A and B are shown apart, each in its own frame.
Chain A
């Protein structure tokens, strides 16, 4: 049996997040209780939300995060290893078995930058992965970058360079900061890189 008046996914997500007005919320609930199809679609949204929470807790996403993210993880009892670097700085770093999340605090003057990309490079400076148009705001004074803890735990001793660049009109790039991570493997085992994280599609 197919629903004649399906609730669209956007509305279901708003409902799940309690973002719909009370009167509308009642109407959505009346529909969900009489329609197994739309209830199942709400179940998908709920499952995706739960899956994203789990992914965040696993620290396996390579992404820019907020201070609230780090605060939340700490409150949940996760072990957050953090390194703070000024623009042009370098750091000796490692990751241990008990670490849950790995965060780099990259200081930079972001004033006037409309679009900022974060380039992850190998030790020779060759770009491997680019996180394009990362979420930043000009007054932030820097970026919090989460490296995948799964990736870091499997990595051998190596050097990684991160670059923050402002992308300007005509695709011209302006370097905002370069950060060098001299990673020493302290976990037992030979250490080998897993499959590289997916590049932007």
Chain B
């Protein structure tokens, strides 16, 4: 079997992609690295910033920083690319909080590159199926997940509402998530 260039890129590990970008600003490797890292950065951003638009900004800003550093040969050990992206992510969050001008300058400088990046679509749940799955949970499990993810109550608040310990709330929550993942068709 003959592997095409794009197949080789898809099969390359993260360190190989980083090395190719550092060596020759390889556009195909850059696109593949973006495809892999964008969902991870998005989740990192969603968890901290609780906003899809802000998370999308974080993806763009972080990847610009990473690619700029790779092209300039600033990452000495390509094997550490994941840690490097994570570090850039943390710095970008601070930058977003500060609303810094550096971000705007980078966006202008890398405008042509960012046009080519397509944000991978996040997983889409079958909403009707989720409705059925949530309704099938035990009453306490349903209450715990709704209180956790909608009411945004602390473990202590949920524990008081249910009249159980916080440890017990954690157990109920994990059991509920497990049931939901299985019901939604995920591998256990």
Interface of A toward B, CB cutoff 8 Å: 9-10, 13-19, 29-30, 32-34, 36, 39-49, 51-57, 60-66, 68-69, 72, 131-138, 197-198, 200-201
Contact = CB atoms under 8 A, between A and B. Distances in A.
B94 interface: no
Contact of A66 (B89, B143, B181, B184): B143
Interface of B: 14, 36-37, 39-40, 43-44, 46-47, 82-83, 85-86, 89, 122-125, 127, 130-132, 134-136, 138-140, 142-143, 145-153, 155, 157, 160-163, 170, 173-174, 177-178, 180-181, 184, 186
10 contacts: A15-B47, A33-B44, A39-B43, A47-B122, A63-B142, A66-B151, A135-B140, A135-B161, A135-B162, A200-B136
Contacts of B138: 132-133, 200
Contacts of B151: 66, 68-69, 72
Given A46-B46, A66-B147, A40 B135 contact: no
A156 to B, nearest CB: 22
Contact of B86 (A30, A68, A131): A30
B82 to A, nearest CB: 4
Given A55-B134, A132-B139, A135-B140, A33 B83 contact: yes
Given A32-B40, A64-B143, A69-B150, A51 B135 contact: no
Nearest to B160: A137
Q: Which secondary structure dominates where chain B touches chain A? A: helix
A59 to B, nearest CB: 11
B43 A133 contact: no
B94 to A, nearest CB: 15
Given A32-B44, A56-B149, 5 more contacts: A36-B36, A49-B149, A72-B151, A132-B138, A135-B139
Q: Which secondary structure dominates where chain A touches chain B? A: helix
A48 B146 CA distance: 11
Nearest to A15: B47
B147 A69 contact: yes
B82 A44 contact: no
A56 B86 contact: no
A37 to B, nearest CB: 10
A34 B14 contact: yes
Contact of B125 (A47, A133, A136, A198): A47
Contact of A33 (B82, B131, B178): B82
B122 A48 contact: no
